[in-house]
Amino acid sequence: MLAFERVAHAAAARAGALVRARYREQHALELKSAVDLVTAVDREAERLIVDAIAAAFPTHGIVAEESPPRPGSDPHRWYVDPIDGTTNFAHGYPHFAVSIGLAREEEMLFGLVYDPMREELFTAVRGGGARLNGAPIGVSAVGRLDDALLGTGFPYDRRERGEFYVAFFLEGLRRAQGVRRTGSAALDLCWLAAGRLDAFWEWKLHPWDVAAARLVVEEAGGRVSDFAGGPHRLSAEETAASNGRLHDALLAMLRDVRGHA
């Protein structure tokens, strides 16, 4: 195991243990927007992770959800989401994850997504495949949207643009076997990598939401792009992911809805 893997594994284990121990508490909530929550546990877990990374790799940059970015003096940058699925966590709904990714410039090198409630650890190293608790995983073989289980999420401006986002959800219901909205994009993407979902889309994800899980999907044999099929950028507003076989059909569905929305 490489040094950056060891540091990320240890930091995720500590943060995950904290989150798991505290999740049944009554949480004092702060609002970053009308529906975007943060708790003290988010900040405590993030501090554990960021301090561990900064101590081990003082020249690396760090982009974390709940604190200002730390610039680095070399091209490496970490993306940290201490609790992807804070709304779930704050309501005692046990579906959330710790997400840690490492990039060199724009290329993701390593991704880790840890579900502390199920004790499922999804990891990927560039060129080394994707794993769940150490065992290799791969995307599904579903080849028709009619047979697919889709995942999605709704951005934080959903109160203002709810009808627009629901139009995509409804079209998914019409074309696929089902659509799931679980509240954690990182886990949705990792479940796609493990074959539990067949395709996924969401608007306006942040880099820390998607960085680690995107690499897990790619290393599991899947594809991640924007809604036009172009390269996915961490700062982009559009994330479309699939097992690869369904990608053209997923993009066609998104394009059709967008043309009528």
Q: What are the catalytic residues? A: 65, 81, 83-84, 86, 209
Q: Cβ neighbours of residue 190 under 8 Å, at least 6 residues apart?
A: 97, 113, 122, 132, 213, 216, 217
Q: Are 233 and 135 a contacting pair, CB within 8 Å?
A: no
Q: Are 113 and 105 within 8 A, CB to CB?
A: no
Assess contact for 83 and 115: CB atoms under 8 A: no
Is the Cβ–Cβ distance between 19 and 89 less than 8 Å?
yes
User: In this structure, how many other beta carbons lie within 10 angstroms of the beta carbon of residue 44?
Assistant: 15
